C-alpha cells in the first residue's frame, strides 16, 4: 500500500464529527478501496472542552485552524467551519497556498469566492473539492462534473433545501400554517433558531450557483439568481394546488434558453404526477437535463452528520486515489461570466389567487386587466359565500411573459374590489 493520507479537520461541529466517525468506522474498507489508509492526524475547533460524539484526544490539537493547514503532518485539509469570512476562507487559502488539497462543505463561501479559490488551487497545482457543499449525501457534483462530462447540459432543476421541503410537506399533510410548522421544524432540529438562511431561499441559492457553474462552465453567480423563499406560501394555496393536481416545491432552476441562462430559486407549482412532486420531508433531489444521457435524477438526504460526512469522505477517496479534476469542470481561467436571462422575460404558466368582493362586474374588471396585457386564462375556480365576506378566485394561465403578467397583477391589485395583494406562483412541468 501507499503511504497513509494524513488528514487535518478544521471544524468539529455536526459535519466534522460525522466525517471523523465515518473515517474511523470504515477505516478498513476505505483502505482497501484507496490502497492506502485515510488517517486523521490533527483537528481544530474553538473549544476543546465541548462534548462531542467522537473522542478527540487521539489527535493533535490546533487552537488556530490556519496553523493546522501548515502542520507538516497534514497532507489534506478539511474546512468544515463554515462562513463566508474569518477562519473558513483563511484555512482554505492557507492550505492551497501550501500546495495542500482543501476539502470543504462551505457552499456560501464557494458561491461568492469559488472562482477565485479555484484559480488559487490550480495555480498551486493542488485541488479544491466540495461534494459536501451541495445536497448532502447526494453525489451530485461528481455526477454532473464527471459522470456526465460527455454531455452538453441544458438544465438543472432541484429541491435543494430539506428544511423548506419538510415545511411545505407538513403544511400539505396537516393543513397548518407556515409559522406553526416552522416552529415544529425548529423544535425537531430541522430548522435553525434564526431560519432566514433556509426559508428565505439563500441556502438553496448558494447550491444552485455551484450547480450552474458546473453545468454551464460559468463563474458561480449568486448575485444573478432570482431568489424567493417560502414565507409567503399559505396553506390555502397548498390546498388549491392539491385540488388542481399540483404540489408546491421550492425549486432551484438553471436552464439554458435563447435569452441566456435562467437562474432562479422560488416556490413552484409542480404537477403531482412528476417525480419531484413526490420528494417529501427533508429529502433533496436534483434532475439534470442533458443531450446524450437525457434526464437523470438524484435523490437523497440533503443534510445531517452522516450524509454530509459521506460526501466529504468521497472527496478524500478521490484524493487518495490520485484523481484530479478542475473544481467546476473546466479550468478556472475558462469559466465565463454568465449571460443571465432576465426574470421579466421568463415565459411560463402561472397560478393566481385573488381575494375579491363578491359582486357583479368584479370578474369582468379582472379579465380586462389580463386581456390588456395579453394574458390568457386556462382554467378558473370561483366559489361564492352566503355572506358579505370577500371570496377567492383562483386562475391558471396559459403560458405568458412574466413582465406582462406583472403589469396585469399590478393593475388588478389597485382595483377597489380586490381586498388582498394578488398571490402568484409559477408552474413548472419539470
* CATH number of the domain within which 367 lies: 3.30.70.260
Summarised one tens digit per residue, pLDDT across range 29-52 is 999 999 999 999 999 999 888 989
Instruction: Decide if 16 is inside a domain.
Output: yes
The number of folded domains in the chain is 3
Dihedral through CA 155, CA 160, CA 166, CA 169, nearest 10? -10
Is residue 125 located within the same domain as residue 145?
no
Per-residue cell: 212: 450552474
Query: What local confidence, expressed as pLDDT, does residue 331 receive?
Result: 96
Is residue 16 located within the same domain as residue 45?
yes
* Distance set, CA 101 to CA 14, 52, 127, 341, 347 (Å): 22, 26, 5, 35, 43
Domain span holding position 176: 140-301
- The residues, ordered by sequence, that sit 6+ positions from 32 with a Cβ below 8 Å of its Cβ are none
Spatial distance between the Cα atoms of 113 and 339, rounded to a whole number of angstroms: 19
* Average per-residue pLDDT for the chain: 95
Instruction: Decide if 147 is inside a domain.
Output: yes
Is residue 294 located within the same domain as residue 405?
no
Instruction: Decide if 362 is inside a domain.
Output: yes
Q: Is a pLDDT exceeding 80 seen at residue 383?
A: no
Instruction: Decide if 325 is inside a domain.
Output: no
Element housing 391 (H / E) = strand 391-397
Per DSSP, helices labelled H in 248-401 are 305-321, 362-372
Instruction: Decide if 48 is inside a domain.
Output: yes
Q: Is a pLDDT exceeding 90 seen at residue 393?
A: yes
- The residues, ordered by sequence, that sit 6+ positions from 4 with a Cβ below 8 Å of its Cβ are 36, 37, 38, 39
Q: How long a stretch of residues is the chain?
A: 430
pTM of the complete model: 0.95
Spatial distance between the Cα atoms of 267 and 353, rounded to a whole number of angstroms: 15
* CATH number of the domain within which 177 lies: 3.30.360.10
Q: Which residues are catalytic?
A: 207
Question: Are residues 65 and 305 in contact, defined by beta-carbon separation less than 8 angstroms?
Answer: no
* CATH number of the domain within which 65 lies: 3.40.50.720
Question: Are residues 45 and 11 in contact, defined by beta-carbon separation less than 8 angstroms?
Answer: yes
Query: What local confidence, expressed as pLDDT, does residue 132 receive?
Result: 97
pLDDT category, 389, cuts 50, 70, 90?
confident
Burial 12-40 (b: 16+ CB within 10 A, else e): bebbbbbbbbbbeeeeeebbeebebbbbb
Q: What is the mean pLDDT of residues 321-343?
A: 95
Is residue 144 located within the same domain as residue 76?
no
Whole-angstrom Cα Rg for the chain: 24
Per DSSP, helices labelled H in 285-401 are 305-321, 362-372
Is residue 99 located within the same domain as residue 224?
no
- The residues, ordered by sequence, that sit 6+ positions from 414 with a Cβ below 8 Å of its Cβ are none
Mark which of 268, 301, 334 sits at the end of a domain.
301
Least confident of 161-175, 184-198, 222-236: 184-198
Is residue 151 located within the same domain as residue 72?
no
- The residues, ordered by sequence, that sit 6+ positions from 82 with a Cβ below 8 Å of its Cβ are 11, 13, 88, 105, 106, 108
Query: What local confidence, expressed as pLDDT, does residue 359 receive?
Result: 86
Summarised one tens digit per residue, pLDDT across range 274-293 is 999 999 999 999 999 999 99
Mark which of 270, 301, 332 sits at the end of a domain.
301
Is residue 367 located within the same domain as residue 417?
yes
Three-class secondary structure of residue 417 per DSSP: coil
Instruction: Decide if 239 is inside a domain.
Output: yes
Query: What local confidence, expressed as pLDDT, does residue 385 receive?
Result: 66
Is residue 144 located within the same domain as residue 283?
yes
Mark which of 268, 283, 301 sits at the end of a domain.
301
Q: What is the mean pLDDT of residues 371-393?
A: 87
Percent of the chain whose predicted confidence (pLDDT) is above 90 = 92
Spatial distance between the Cα atoms of 310 and 197, rounded to a whole number of angstroms: 23
Residue of 210, 205, 164 whose CA lies nearest to 303: 164
Per-residue cell: 371: 386581456
Q: Output the CA angle 293-297-303, nearest 5 degrees.
A: 140
Q: What is the mean pLDDT of residues 82-110?
A: 96
Amino acid at each position: 500500500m501507499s503511504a497513509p493520507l494524513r488528514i487535518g479537520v478544521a471544524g468539529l461541529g455536526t459535519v466534522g464529527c460525522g466525517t471523523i466517525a465515518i473515517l474511523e468506522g470504515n477505516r478498513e474498507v476505505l483502505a482497501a478501496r484507496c490502497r492506502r489508509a485515510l488517517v486523521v492526524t490533527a483537528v481544530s475547533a474553538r473549544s476543546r472542552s465541548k462534548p462531542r460524539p467522537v473522542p478527540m484526544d487521539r489527535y493533535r490539537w490546533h487552537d488556530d485552524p490556519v496553523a493546522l493547514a501548515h502542520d507538516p503532518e497534514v497532507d489534506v485539509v478539511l474546512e468544515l467551519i463554515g462562513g463566508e469570512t474569518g477562519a473558513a476562507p483563511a484555512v482554505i487559502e492557507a492550505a492551497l497556498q501550501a500546495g495542500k488539497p482543501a476539502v470543504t462543505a462551505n457552499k456560501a463561501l464557494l458561491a461568492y469566492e469559488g472562482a477565485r479559490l479555484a484559480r488559487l488551487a490550480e495555480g498551486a497545482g493542488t485541488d479544491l473539492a466540495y461534494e459536501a457543499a451541495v445536497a448532502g449525501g447526494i453525489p451530485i457534483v461528481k455526477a454532473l462534473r464527471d459522470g456526465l462530462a460527455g454531455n452538453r447540459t441544458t438544465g438543472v432543476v432541484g429541491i435543494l433545501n430539506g428544511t423548506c421541503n419538510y415545511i411545505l410537506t407538513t403544511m400539505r399533510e396537516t393543513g397548518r400554517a407556515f409559522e406553526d410548522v416552522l416552529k415544529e421544524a425548529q423544535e425537531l432540529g430541522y430548522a435553525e433558531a434564526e431560519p432566514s438562511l433556509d426559508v428565505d431561499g439563500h441556502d438553496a441559492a448558494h447550491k444552485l450557483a455551484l450547480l450552474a457553474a458546473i453545468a454551464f462552465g460559468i463563474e458561480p453567480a449568486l448575485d444573478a439568481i432570482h431568489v424567493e423563499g417560502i414565507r409567503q406560501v399559505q396553506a390555502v394555496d397548498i390546498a388549491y394546488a392539491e385540488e388542481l393536481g399540483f404540489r408546491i416545491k421550492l425549486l432551484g432552476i438553471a436552464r439554458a434558453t435563447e435569452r441566456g441562462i435562467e437562474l432562479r430559486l422560488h416556490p413552484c407549482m409542480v404537477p403531482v404526477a412528476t417525480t419531484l412532486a413526490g420528494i417529501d420531508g427533508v429529502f433533496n433531489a436534483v434532475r439534470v437535463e442533458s443531450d446524450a444521457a437525457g434526464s437523470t435524477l438524484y435523490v437523497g438526504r440533503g443534510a445531517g452528520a452522516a450524509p454530509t460526512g459521506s460526501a466529504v469522505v468521497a472527496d478524500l477517496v478521490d484524493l487518495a486515489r490520485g484523481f484530479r479534476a478542475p473544481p467546476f469542470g473546466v479550468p478556472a481561467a475558462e469559466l465565463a461570466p454568465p449571460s443571465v436571462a432576465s426574470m421579466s422575460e421568463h415565459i411560463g404558466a402561472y397560478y393566481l389567487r385573488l381575494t375579491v368582493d363578491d359582486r357583479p362586474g368584479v370578474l369582468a374588471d379582472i379579465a380586462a386587466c389580463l386581456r390588456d396585457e395579453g394574458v390568457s386564462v386556462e382554467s378558473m375556480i370561483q366559489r361564492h359565500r352566503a355572506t358579505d365576506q370577500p371570496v377567492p378566485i383562483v386562475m391558471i394561465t396559459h403560458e405568458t411573459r412574466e413582465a406582462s403578467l406583472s403589469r396585469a397583477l399590478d393593475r388588478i391589485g389597485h382595483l377597489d374590489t380586490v381586498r388582498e395583494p394578488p398571490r402568484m406562483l409559477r408552474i413548472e412541468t419539470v
